[in-house]
Amino acid sequence: MSESLVLRVKRLVSGSVNGLVDALETANSEVVMREAIREIERAIDDVREELGHVIANRHQTVRHLDRAKTKLTELGDRAKLAVEQGRDDLAEAAFSRQLDLEGEIPTHEARLGDLFAKQHELDGYIAALDGRKRQMEADITAFVAARETAAEAAGTVGGVANDAERRADKAQAAFERAMNGPVGAAASTKTDRETMAKLNELDRLSRSSQVADRLAGLKRRMQQAG
């Protein structure tokens, strides 16, 4: 969810009480307050749209993860078949692709975790906005009743407003705790071209060694089974 939408949700959940109180002094106070509720409804629609994107991305990530795991198993079977046919080169290609997939799977799993967390966060925003909407509707009813009863207007309005402000302060504190979590700082390192080339060569040697180890291990298992 974009930062602007997060700030908008925070403002609507925790910052609308004073606006409602001020609206009482206007000629069209009820119209102003109803518009505030419609703004919350529009925010709910926007958050739900974002939630739909997150859920769609989550399903897509699950499919990618499932395909990667299935392909990993298939490549193992194909490598065995290749060795049986005397095609070590094909088995090595299968093992090389397995290494790629084994590197991708943790990335898919991490993204899936992030998407689940984002979905939970958005569900919380929607619940908070829904609660704020219900509270504002109740406040409007109380405000209108207070104006119609002139003798009790000051006490009723003040009590409702103070109670609403207390609830808004609690909501704001909760949202600030949720949105001000620890943020990690990424460290960057500077490597010259010669060192980078050596590291790349080391990666290639390591990969070749892993492929060779897998091929040798498969042959040993096949010999033991035979």
Instruction: Give, for all 226 residues of the chain, the pLDDT tens digit.
Output: 666 877 888 888 876 455 555 555 555 667 777 888 898 999 999 999 999 999 999 999 999 999 999 999 999 999 989 998 888 999 999 999 999 999 999 999 999 999 999 999 999 999 989 888 888 888 778 777 776 775 454 554 455 455 555 655 655 554 455 445 444 433 344 456 677 676 677 777 777 888 888 888 888 888 887 6
* Residues spanned by the domain of 99: 3-189
- Return the number of other C-beta atoms located less than 10 Å from residue 220's C-beta: 10
Instruction: Look up residue 213 and give its two tokens.
Output: 């180890």
Please give the pLDDT value at position 213.
Answer: 84
Q: Model confidence over 185-209: pLDDT tens digits?
A: 333 444 566 776 766 777 777 778 8
Instruction: Check residue 23 and give its pLDDT.
Output: 53
Q: Would 47 be classed as within a structural domain?
A: yes
Q: How many helices and strands (H and E) does the chain possess? A: 6, 0
In a domain, 115, yes or no: yes
Hey, what are 201's tokens? 């060569």
d(CA 171, CA 164): 11
- How far does Cα 122 stand from its chain's mean position? 8
Structural domain includes residue 22: yes
Are 152 and 146 spatial neighbours (Cβ–Cβ below 8 Å)?
yes
Cα 187 to Cα 207: distance, rounded to the nearest angstrom: 26
Record the pTM: 0.62
Q: Is residue 221 part of a domain?
A: no
How far apart are the C-alpha atoms of 73 and 197, rounded to whole Å? 33
Q: Is 37 a member of any domain? A: yes
pLDDT reported for residue 112: 94
Count of the separate structural domains present in the chain: 1
Residue at 195 is within a domain: no
> 174 in helix, strand or coil?
helix
The amino acid sitting at 183 is V
Tally the residues of the chain: 226
Does residue 205 fall inside a structural domain?
Answer: no
